[in-house]
Amino acid sequence: MGEETQKSFYITTPLEEVLRELSKISIKRRVENVSINVAFGRVLAEDFFSPINVPHFKRASKDGYAVKASDTFGAEEDDPKTLKVLGELRAGEKSDLVTDKGGCVKIATGALMPEGADAVVMVEFTEEEENHVRIYRPVSPDENVMKIGGDIKEKQKVLSKGTILSIQDLGVLSATGVREVKVYSKPLVTVASTGDEIINPGADLEPGKIYDINSVTIIQAVRQSGGEPIYMGVIPDDEDELIKAIKYSLEKADIAIFSGGTSKGPGDTVPTALREVSKPDFLIHGVSIKPGKPTAIASYNGKPVFMLPGYPTSALVVYYTIVDPQIRRWAGLPPASRPQVKAIAGMRIYSERGRFNFQPVRLEHEKGEIRAYPVPTGSEAITTLASSQGYVEIKPEIQFIEAGEDIMVYLWT
Amino acid sequence: MGEETQKSFYITTPLEEVLRELSKISIKRRVENVSINVAFGRVLAEDFFSPINVPHFKRASKDGYAVKASDTFGAEEDDPKTLKVLGELRAGEKSDLVTDKGGCVKIATGALMPEGADAVVMVEFTEEEENHVRIYRPVSPDENVMKIGGDIKEKQKVLSKGTILSIQDLGVLSATGVREVKVYSKPLVTVASTGDEIINPGADLEPGKIYDINSVTIIQAVRQSGGEPIYMGVIPDDEDELIKAIKYSLEKADIAIFSGGTSKGPGDTVPTALREVSKPDFLIHGVSIKPGKPTAIASYNGKPVFMLPGYPTSALVVYYTIVDPQIRRWAGLPPASRPQVKAIAGMRIYSERGRFNFQPVRLEHEKGEIRAYPVPTGSEAITTLASSQGYVEIKPEIQFIEAGEDIMVYLWT
């Protein structure tokens, strides 16, 4: 697991090449129907056409009196028109009322317009007295009325395939009365930690053992990428066990994520296991990034298997850099727009030439400026990760950032 | 539901006064234990102290050889020290190996340090041959070793009460081996739509009926505010039914949200119902905002009941302006930091003096600028809401924003 201590038994692949290789995988998305109650944030798998007109009846859009507009023509403040009130209609009511010439129906916003009426005079411009109402302002036909399909027309395309459903979109779907909507299924992603030293939370802590960290963090990260995590437990450091786990994952899931066990040295358990599973579409062992160099990636019939380093910081950096974009693509989501903040390097930040450096930093507010200080990553310490608010990307050709330089910090959340 | 058409049967309360009144409610938060697997985003209800040292054993932090540092003193490239390899220790292994003077143990990152050893020589600076290893560089005591509690000390406070748990925090909790963590319970929030015209999705669409929109949108909004929604269904326009629903809500939940039925005119169903439930701590009917004026709010023994307008846009605006901050406070979360974008008013945007205006706008990218155009809110049209990306706040003393003025647009998401 200590990536920095390894002799290079492998040739590392540049990050862009890794991403290019992964982008060649042609994704087989599944679709499913989900209730609109839980469809928020899901991705529409097809264009959505409204099954109905909204509203599907001629509707008063103000409180007032449903009239024949022509009956109100010429009405003035000091010369009102008087109409007979034939009845009253509240929202949700059906009725046989017909607005004949000279008559009108008291109506509430949202109520079905009675036959014969073509406009609504707002209550503000009327005065009712003993079954009659005085109209002080004229209305034109269709005024204060929403026509059938005035909001959404039947068979109208209201949402496009690929839409990430927002609260407003759920409102639109609700208006059309559908219960369910067709979305892309979340890609299934197995998550496992490997290592004889790793034990589950709550287990007895014998000397030499440590609690599993990566399963918890990566499972949550997968959820945020739009994937459906499947926890596989802790896998011992054993080639056969690893092969079994990879095979299981390829059967059950779309994507597999293991962490730990990528840099066991000359034994090369991981690449051997990856070769033994079956013939991989491609196999990468070693990526030119820091941290994360010992990362191994293979693909089998278009299903990628990621072997992340064991250190929590390394694992998360590789996750965000390489794995997250794949899960998002699988889910039909755009690449993450990670929030950024402008900062000043609080001290010289060293990088390693030839490797894309993702340097976690701690941010401090000093004299109205944000200063970024590197936190060490070459250790298993989880507190250093927790003390960082984000990371700085340093390109392979750059050796260090000088203290005082302006930098962009990508925030973890 | 048509708020703009109502005669003012009530005196509206300024927004700040409404928020001030609500801020006086003293919140009774419940706490609960949740699995760390689902604790992301939850709020710690107490300081968290580590139950163990992390690591709880002296641990090699590099691959190499566990040695007595003093045995390596003076080692040089052309004058190595030679030590006897007594055995090998892998991560997770226990052993009885003791590193005596002149001896060493081959060790993997993360493995338990053997007794007698106080440092690790990195494998890069060694050469092994027939049970002996040549050491080309000296190490000092504690080098490449993580001490007991080197990451986290037993009983150390690692996370503070009120922390919103991030992925990194979950990593820290995992490292200490806990399964569960004590967090604030999500406030329970009942959600109901009222109105005889409202029907559930999938129901038969008779003339005069419309599908429920607000339940779906508000339930999702409640989830995002950190609340736990409880759907109560559609409540008919009836004072007794409304009173029954409010009483049920006060019994089962912390906060109640109704929408629709707030502006039924002289009948005043809503304020009457709110008075009949029991003596309210306070009762507000009418808020000086647009849209959202007919909003009614009452509180009973510190449990707020919100009656939002029926129009989806009005309901959501009032939700974000007034309800969301309350749910967040209840959940222990800070006020929402709604993403903003700078834009230019694409046309004159009218407001209403004396009311705080939340004007939904549609954003258009034109010649490298973002232009904001108002979308109408005084209608039941859901498509207008869906076509807006955010809203502009216009203070009560301002009558309009001139075309071309710089404005800040708060994005819905």
Ordered by where they begin, the domains of chain B are: 3-30+185-331 (3.40.980.10), 32-54+154-184 (3.90.105.10), 59-146 (2.170.190.11), 340-411 (2.40.340.10)
Token pair listed for A332: 């039909």
- β-sheet bridge partners, residue A146: A59
Q: Where are the alpha helices (DSSP H) in B198-332?
A: 214-225, 239-252, 269-277, 312-318, 324-331
Of all residues in chain B, the percent with pLDDT exceeding 70 is 95
What are the pLDDT digits (tens) for A196-227? Answer: 899 999 899 999 999 999 999 999 999 999 99
pLDDT score of A6 more than 60: no
Label the pairing between strands B340-345 and B369-374: parallel
**8 Å CB contact of B207 and A4:** no
Nearest by CB to residue B177, choosing from A151, A205, A223, is: A205
Name residues 318-377 of chain B within 8 A of A (Cβ). none
Long-range contacts of B244-253 (CB under 8 A, 24+ apart): B245/B190, B245/B192, B246/B273, B246/B274, B246/B277, B246/B305, B247/B277, B248/B190, B249/B190, B249/B192, B249/B305, B250/B277, B250/B300, B250/B301, B250/B303, B250/B305, B252/B188, B252/B190, B253/B187, B253/B188, B253/B189, B253/B190, B253/B303
**8 Å CB contact of B166 and A196:** no
Judged by DSSP in three states, B132 sits in strand
Q: Is the CB of residue B169 less than 8 Å from the CB of residue B20? A: no
How many of the other CB atoms lie within 10 Å of CB of B148? 16
Is-above-0.90 flag for pTM? yes
Q: Which residues of A228-239 are buried (b: 16+ CB within 10 A; e: fewer)?
A: ebbebebbebee
Q: Which of A223, A160, A185, A215 is nearest to A330 (CA)?
A: A185
Residue of B nearest to A41 (CA): B220
Q: Which residues of A156-190 are buried (b: 16+ CB within 10 A; e: fewer)?
A: eebbeeebbbbbbbbbbbbbbbbeebbbbbbbbbb
Interface test with B, best of A152, A380, A384 (most B CBs within 10 A): A380
Q: Where are the alpha helices (DSSP H) in A332-401?
A: 382-386
Q: How confident is the model at residue A304 (pLDDT cuts 50, 70, 90)?
A: very high
Q: Put the strands of the sheet holding A188-194 in their side by side order.
A: A228-235, A188-194, A255-259, A303-308, A296-300, A282-285
What are the pLDDT digits (tens) for B98-148? Answer: 998 999 999 998 899 999 999 999 999 999 999 999 999 999 999 999 999
The position carrying tokens 């409610």 is: B25
Q: Please report the DSSP string for B289-316 in residue order.
A: EES-TT-EEEEETTEEEEEE-SSHHHHH
Give me the phi and psi of B354, to 5 degrees please.
90, -10
**8 Å CB contact of B123 and A7:** yes
CA distance A26 to chain B (A): 30
- Residue A247: burial class (beta carbons within 10 Å; 0-12, 13-18, 19+): middle
Judged by DSSP in three states, B238 sits in coil
Q: Which of B322, B272, B263 is nearest to B4 (CA)?
A: B263
**Torsion from C-alpha of A14, A16, A22, A27, nearest 10 degrees:** 180
* Cα separation, A117 vs A95, whole angstroms: 13
Nearest by CB to residue B170, choosing from A197, A203, A220, is: A220
Q: Is the CB of residue B174 less than 8 Å from the CB of residue B166? A: no
- Residue B49: burial class (beta carbons within 10 Å; 0-12, 13-18, 19+): middle
Nearest by CB to residue B386, choosing from A55, A172, A198, is: A172
Name residues 106-135 of chain B within 8 A of A (Cβ). 108-112, 122-124
* Cα separation, A306 vs B58, whole angstroms: 30
Q: Which of A123, A167, A103, A173 is nearest to B320 (CA)?
A: A167
Q: How confident is the model at residue A65 (pLDDT cuts 50, 70, 90)?
A: very high
**Torsion from C-alpha of A116, A122, A126, A127, nearest 10 degrees:** 100
Tell me, what DSSP letter sits at residue B357? Answer: E
Q: Which of B123, B153, B126 is nearest to B54 (CA)?
A: B153
Q: How confident is the model at residue A269 (pLDDT cuts 50, 70, 90)?
A: confident
Judged by DSSP in three states, B391 sits in strand
Which residues on chain B are in Cβ contact (under 8 Å) with A54?
A: 210, 382
Tell me, what DSSP letter sits at residue B113? Answer: P
Interface test with B, best of A209, A215, A234 (most B CBs within 10 A): A209
For each of chain B's 413 residues, which pLDDT tens digit applies?
344 444 445 689 999 999 999 999 999 899 999 999 999 999 999 999 999 999 999 999 889 999 999 999 999 999 999 999 999 999 888 888 999 899 999 999 889 999 999 999 999 999 999 999 999 999 999 999 999 999 999 999 999 999 999 999 999 999 999 999 999 999 999 999 998 899 999 899 999 999 999 999 999 999 999 999 999 999 988 899 999 999 999 999 999 999 986 554 444 678 789 999 999 999 999 999 998 888 999 999 999 999 999 889 889 999 999 999 999 999 999 999 888 999 999 999 999 888 999 999 999 998 889 999 998 766 668 887 888 899 999 999 999 999 999 999 999 87
Q: Is the CB of residue A226 less than 8 Å from the CB of residue A186? A: yes
